[in-house]
Structure 1
C-alpha cells in the first residue's frame, strides 16, 4: 500500500493531547499523573507570584480521586461571561499555548512540562473552573476537555482567586493515586525557593482521616539549608547559616545562596534555576565552587596556613557538588532566577548560561570573605578543619 501526504493525520489541540498523552506528561503511570498535577499547581503558583504579594496555593487530593487547586490571586475572568480585560480562562482551558513557553526570573517552574491548562482539561474525565472576581463567583464545567455549558454566575463571593478541580481520566491513566510524600516534597522545595509563598497539601483519601502539610518559609533558602541540616539529626542555630541575595544585570537575573559548615557530617549541595532542580549542576554551581574556593584559599594564605591555587581547591570542591562533599561538612543551596535560562540536555538538568558562573563566583567570594572577616572565630574553625583534613595543605584537594 502506498503512503503519501493524504494519509498523514494531523492532530491538534484536544485530540493531540488525548491521543498522545505521553508527549505532554511523560507517561500514563503515576509519573505522568504527578506532572498533570504540577501543570495546574505551577499555573496557580505563578499567578500568585505575579500578584507581587504573599499569597497561597491550596492543593487537595479528594476522596473521590480528584485534585483541587485553589489560589487567592486576582481572578482570571471568563471572556464569555462578559469580561474582556486580561487573560481569558476559557481560552487557557481549551487552547494550547501559542509561541514559546513563559520564561523569566518571575516564573517558577514546578514540573518538567509546559502544555498549560489544556493538558489537564484534556486528560481529565471532568474538570470544573471556578473564578472569584468582583464579588461574583462564576463556574464552568468540562467533560474530557469539552465545555458542558457556558460559564455561569453561581452566587456572591468575597475575596478573589481561582479554583481548578479535575478528575484524571481512568481511560488514559493507569492509576489515579498520586503519592502524597512525593508531591509534598516538591511543594516544599517550591516554597523554600519563593520566599513568602504559602503552599498547602491536604489528602482526604486515607480512611483514618485526612492529613495535611503547610509550607511557608520567610527566610527562603536560608531555611532550606537549615532544613537540610536538620534532616541529619543535627540542629544548628539559624545565625550559623550564611546567606545572601544579589541581583546582577550581567546575567539578567538574581541569585540566592545559603551555606552552612557543620563539621559533624557529610554536607549536601542542592541547586536550582527558576525553581527547577538542576541535578547535573551547571554554571551556577561552577560559580559557587569558584567563590568558596577563592574565599577559603585567600583566608588560609592570610593566616599563614598551607594553601593552594584556588583553581585546584575548586576542582576538589567540585566533586561534592550535587551530592556529598568532605570540606568540613558543607551544606548549601544555590538558586538563580534568570530572564533567559539555558539548559543542556533534554531533561534540562544542567544550567548553561555562561555569564552566570562569573557573577555567582564573585558574589560568593565577596560575601563569604566578608563573613570570614566578621566572624574570625568561626572562620578559623571552618578553615582549620579543612586544612586538618588535608594536612599537606589545600594543594591535595586538587
Structure 2
C-alpha cells in the first residue's frame, strides 16, 4: 500500500507491506491543496479474490454517496484501456434521492411526496436520517444502515416501524377512521407499498453477532421511533388530501384483510 498525504504545501509518502511500514515517511516535494491518496494491491494470500468487480464497487460507493450527501466519489476502471469505465457519484438530496433510486420508474406514479428528515439526538449519541414514501409497487422496500454500513435490521428499523405505526394509527383515530377501541394498524399493513431508507450515525454503535449486521443500541429504538412519529404525524396534518391518499389505502387494505 502507498499513502500520499498533502498537507501544508508538502507531499509526504510512505509505503507498507502487510500492515508493516516498508519505507520511512518521506517528504518528496511540494503539494497544492490537502488530502490523502491511498493506492493498494490486494495480496492473494490474504484476500479470497484479487479481481475487483466494478459493478460491486459502484453499488457500494453509490450507497455511501447517498448516505453522505456532501460526498462525491469517482470510480474509474483502467484495467482494459479499450474498455475503460468511469462513474461519478454525488447526490445532494441524500436519502431522499436514495428513495427515488430504489423506486425507479415507479416513482413517477407515486401518489404522495417523499417524507425526509435528519435530526441529531443526544440521548442516542448520534444522528438519525430517514426518507420514505408510499407508491403503487406491492410489498415493502426498507433499507437500513448504521454508520453507512448496511444492516439487516436492528433497533433503528424497529424504532422506524414503531413510529410509523403510532403516527398512522393516531391520525386515523383523530379522523374517525378508527374507533377508540379498535385495534391499531399493523406494521405489515402500513408497510405495503412503502419504500424507505433508515440511517443512523452513532458515536458508539453496538452490533449483535459476528457479522455485525444487526444494530443493538437499545436507546436507538425509542429515539428513532419518536422522531418518525413526530415528523410523519406533522406531515399528515399539513395536507388532508395527501394524508387521505395514504390512510385511505391502508384502511382499505386492512378491511380486505
| Common fold by TM > 0.5 | yes
C-alpha RMSD over aligned residues: 2.3
State the secondary structure of the residue aligned to 1:205.
coil
Aligned equivalents of 1:348 and 1:266: distance in 2? 26
Aligned to 1:297: 169
Counterpart pick for 1:263 among 136, 139, 149 = 136
Range that drifts further, 134-143 or 160-169: 134-143
Aligned to 2:60: 186
TM-score for the superposition, normalised by structure 1: 0.59
Aligned partners of 2:141 and 2:221: how far apart in 1?
A: 20
- 1:16 equivalent in structure 2: none
How do residues 16-95 of structure 1 correspond to structure 2 at under 5 angstroms? none
Is the contact between residue 259 and residue 331 of structure 1 (CA under 8 Å) also seen in structure 2? yes
Structure 1, 346-355 or 139-148: larger mean CA deviation:
139-148
Structure 1 residue 154 and structure 2 residue 18: aligned? no
Match of 2:245 in 1: 381
Equivalent residue runs for 1:1-398 within 5 Å: 127-143=1-17, 147-173=21-47, 175-230=49-104, 232-235=105-108, 240-279=113-152, 281-306=153-178, 308-310=182-184, 313-314=186-187, 316=188, 325-326=191-192, 329-391=193-255
Question: In structure 2, the residue corresponding to 1:168 is in which secondary structure?
Answer: coil
Question: How far does the alpha carbon of each residue in 1:263-287 deviate from its partner, in whole angstroms, 9 at most, with x for none?
Answer: 34433001111112111x1111111
Q: How many residues in Structure 1 have an aligned counterpart in Structure 2?
A: 254
Asked whether the 8 Å contact 1:263–1:385 carries over to 2, the reply is no
Distance in 1 of aligned mates of 2:61 and 2:225: 29
- Counterparts in 2 of 1:358 and 1:149: CA distance versus 1, 3 Å: closer
Q: Deviations over 1:141-167 (max 9, x none)?
A: 345555554333332221111212122
Q: Offset of 1:172 from its aligned partner?
A: 4.6
SS in structure 2 at match of 1:130: strand
Instruction: Measure how far apart 1:171 and its partner are.
Output: 4.8
Q: Which has the larger radius of gyration?
A: 1
Q: Tell me the CA shift for residue 317 of structure 1.
A: 5.0
Where 1:361 maps in the other structure, the secondary structure is helix
Unaligned 5+ segments in structure 2 are none
Distance 2:49 2:140 in 1: 37
Deviation at 1:291? 1.0
Equivalents in 2 of 1:211, 1:300: separation in Å? 51
Query: How far, CA to CA, are the matches of 1:142 and 1:360 in structure 2?
Result: 42
Kept in 1, the 8 Å contact 2:207–2:215? The answer is yes
The 8 Å contact of residues 226 and 236 in structure 1, kept in 2 or not, is answered as no
CA distance in 2 between partners of 1:382 and 1:143 (Å):
57
